[in-house]
Structure 1
Amino acid sequence: MKNPIENLNKIFDSRIRLGIMSALMVNASINFNDLKQLINVTDGNLASHIKALEESGYIKVQKGFIGRKTNTLYSATKSGEKAFRAHLDALEKMIKNIE
């Protein structure tokens, strides 16, 4: 039998990435500043983790404007949702110690 730990996704090891994905699982999309406040991290820290998730194909970035101000929205991709759910399932199985 496969150990549930093998189903954990290394991309989600970081608490910041867990926070980003958790926020995107319950919101259709969220902007940079709201995400930053929600997770309580610096701009640079959030930006680097967003970039990693985007490069993995787990989130999509939509840049636009509200008036003259730039507004960047983030949302989870289908593969991001699937990967995150699999990661959470693996965590749950580890906690419950079931296979």
Structure 2
Amino acid sequence: MTHLRRELDPIIHSPVRFSIAAALSAVERADFRFIRDTVEVSDSALSQHVAALEQVGYVKVSKGRAGRRTKTWLALTDQGRQAFTHHLAVLNRIAAEPPRAPAEET
């Protein structure tokens, strides 16, 4: 039998990336600074984690103008939303699975 942990997504499993995906799962898109403040990481740390998520197609990064400022917007892709939902479901299954006593030798 294979433990459920093998179904966890190694990209999303990082606590920071999991937190980014969780924050983005609740919205259509979010401003970079909002996610940075929500996840409580530095700009550079968020950039690195977003790059990892973007590289596998989980996050889309877009830039736009808001008045005089350039804003960076982050959004989960459909693939990213599915990956996050699956990862969360696996975590819940692991948490809900009762531990099994070892088989007694006779």
Q: Which TM-score applies when normalising by structure 1? A: 0.93
Determine which structure has more spread, i.e. the larger CA radius of gyration.
2
Q: Distance in 2 between matches of 1:62 and 1:37?
A: 19
**Aligned position for 1:65:** 65
| Cα root mean square deviation, aligned | 1.2
Cα offset for 1:62? 1.2
Give the % identical residues. Answer: 34
Q: Which amino acid aligns with 1:12?
A: I
Q: Give aligned pairs, total.
A: 98
Could you tell me which runs of 5 or more consecutive residues in structure 1 were left unpaired when the two chains were aligned.
none
Q: Which amino acid aligns with 2:40?
A: N
**Aligned position for 2:15:** 15
**Pairs within 5 Å for 1:19-34:** 19-34=19-34
Show structure 1 runs of 4+ deviating over 4 A. none
Q: Distance in 2 between matches of 1:53 and 1:68?
A: 28
Relative contact order higher in (CA < 8 Å, ≥ 6 apart):
1
Could you tell me which runs of 5 or more consecutive residues in structure 2 were left unpaired when the two chains were aligned.
99-106
Cα offset for 1:5? 1.0
Deviations 1:2-22, CA, capped at 9 Å, x for gaps = 431111000012111011000
**Aligned position for 1:49:** 49
Q: Distance in 2 between matches of 1:85 and 1:96?
A: 16
Q: Which TM-score applies when normalising by structure 2? A: 0.87
